[in-house]
Structure 1
Amino acid sequence: MNDTALLDLAAALADRAGTEIRAIRDRGFQVEHKADRSVVTEADRAAEAIILSGLRAALPGCTVVAEEAVAGGAVPQATAEFWLVDPLDGTREFTGGGDDFAVNIGLVRDGRPVLGVVGVPATGVLFGGIVGVGAWRQSGGARQPIAARVCPPEGLTVVASRHHGDAATLDRFLAGRTVARLVNFGSSLKFCRLAEGEADLYPRFGRTMEWDTCAPQAVLEAAGGAVETLEGETLRYGKPGWENPHFVCWGRRAVGARGARG
């Protein structure tokens, strides 16, 4: 399969997983806790089963690193090409009755995300992108191109986590920057707000795993944005323990003006 076909496969699986997640939410579910005290539900496991089955049927022998499988002890080795799957990103939003939860399916090649899909089960919307090609938003079966924006003159729209983060660290990071507004979102939808040109900056100071960020990073980079460590390096994949350092997501850079990022 070429990358367009792989992206379409990921989009179809994210859509199927989202349908199952909605069905489970409608009929009710039990909330459990994993060893790290994070929450998990039947919806997480059912969505992951759909995605894993679909990837392995279409791509026999592919390497898939999936959140619930890793939690259960199935920890593969990083290969030159592998998939990262978070079947229900934002489980706290899901269990709390909110809508800011997502299905993340991303592909890594040589340590870099190359394509990804972020599904929004509550609305049926899908975000997808191939780095170096472009990004789109799909609603009602129709795909529309999206692009990150250059920060407007009135200042940055900053998105932050609804449930995670250090307010003092965020305040220090934003000091000296012109901030027009601060908006809270859950899950990987924060990346998507930047990708579709609705926000400019998302700093993340806290623990995240690679399956949380691979797919939305691919969408954002495909839309012209960037995801960087605090040292200014592109966030990469296949790290020990699958854990990310702190990072910052940016919208589009103004030509010749790094300062336009804030």
Structure 2
Amino acid sequence: MNIAQKILSDSNILSSLKHLMWEAGDVIIDIYNNEKIDITTKKDQSPVTKADLAAHNVLIQGLSKLTPEIPVVSEEDPASLAIPETVSVYWLIDPLDGTKEFINRNGQFTCNLALIESHKPTLGFVGIPVKDELYIGGDGIQSIREKRGSSSTEEQIHCSRISADLTRVVASKSHLNAETEAFINSLEGDVELVQAGSSLKFLKIATGEADIYPRLAPTCEWDTAAAHAVLEGAGGSITQSSGSPMVYGKRDILNPYFIAKGHR
């Protein structure tokens, strides 16, 4: 039994992790709805907001109490990037994935928590703050979508089988690079473009609303880990464009180009 399975078998820890994700989503949406969004720039020139840092703090503090034996790697803590060099099990978080979408107030952002074991995401939590939804799943763990509210609902999610006649590709109509265009042109049959921001791209496949997501541009491990786990739990997969498995905990946090897809 791996750590992910142990967590899922403990209803108290699982419930607490869900509550922690709701709490992180709440601080994000409170800033999104009620405050002017102040933007600063990190060393890599990417934007960061008060919401990124507030959600980071919620997750860091909560995880330190719930699973003190498991260290945490976060996009918002550069020093934590050294952790995978010495341990094989750790949490990997992207407190606010889709900061640009958050700034543009289009709702296309998520909160992401993944458990990494031996270079693989074995359990993922993806929250959608604007919808009060939480997705949970992993390899060998049936993925679910939970809706919070007066009558909380939980349902299993599944990828669709790819049709021979139509392939629904997650890609931007206005920001296709040459590699992505070439990939799309290589597909047989008709192609329909499906647009989404942040890790919502993976969820489109996990819920059967899209078939394939070619990411032939840079991403970081925290951008993909949680949704990678959820996609696998829904029956999908992610591989490097070379066909090799995706690996986490590399010395270089950048991902190789990859292809995410549902059933075939």
Q: Under a length normalisation based on structure 2, what TM-score does the superposition of the two structures give?
A: 0.90
Report matched runs for 1:1-262 at 5 Å: 2-4=6-8, 5=10, 7-28=14-35, 29-70=37-78, 73-78=79-84, 79-140=87-148, 141-161=152-172, 166-177=176-187, 178-253=189-264
CA 1:64–1:75 in structure 2 vs 1: closer, same or farther (change >3 Å)? same
Q: Which moved more, 1:41-50 or 1:76-85?
A: 76-85
Q: State the Cα distance separating 1:121 from its structure 2 match.
A: 0.6
Q: Is the 8 A contact 1:161 1:186 kept in 2?
A: no
Q: Is the 8 A contact 1:65 1:85 kept in 2?
A: yes
Aligned residues: 250
Q: Is the 8 A contact 2:138 2:231 kept in 1?
A: no
CA deviations 1:116-160 (Å, max 9, x no partner) are 011001111111103102101111321100011111243110112
Letter in 1 for 2:47: V
CA deviations 1:84-131 (Å, max 9, x no partner) are 100000000000011110000000111111010110011111111031
Letter in 1 for 2:81: V
Q: Under a length normalisation based on structure 1, what TM-score does the superposition of the two structures give?
A: 0.90
Secondary structure at the aligned position of 2:232 is classed as helix
Q: Which moved more, 1:44-53 or 1:55-64?
A: 55-64
CA 1:162–1:50 in structure 2 vs 1: closer, same or farther (change >3 Å)? farther
Q: Is the 8 A contact 1:10 1:105 kept in 2?
A: no
Q: Is the 8 A contact 1:11 1:128 kept in 2?
A: no
Structure 1 Cα separation of the partners of residues 7 and 130 of structure 2 = 27
Q: Is the 8 A contact 1:7 1:130 kept in 2?
A: no
Structure 2 Cα separation of the partners of residues 179 and 234 of structure 1 = 28
Q: State the Cα distance separating 1:240 from its structure 2 match.
A: 1.1
Q: State the Cα distance separating 1:242 from its structure 2 match.
A: 1.6
Letter in 2 for 1:17: A
Q: Is the 8 A contact 1:7 1:117 kept in 2?
A: no
Q: Is the 8 A contact 1:3 1:130 kept in 2?
A: no
CA 1:19–1:246 in structure 2 vs 1: closer, same or farther (change >3 Å)? same
Letter in 1 for 2:95: P
CA 1:251–1:47 in structure 2 vs 1: closer, same or farther (change >3 Å)? same
Q: Is the 8 A contact 1:7 1:115 kept in 2?
A: no
CA 1:117–1:108 in structure 2 vs 1: closer, same or farther (change >3 Å)? same
CA 1:7–1:107 in structure 2 vs 1: closer, same or farther (change >3 Å)? farther
Structure 2 Cα separation of the partners of residues 87 and 8 of structure 1 = 19
Structure 2: unaligned runs, 5 residues or longer: none
Structure 2 Cα separation of the partners of residues 128 and 170 of structure 1 = 29
Structure 1: unaligned runs, 5 residues or longer: 254-262
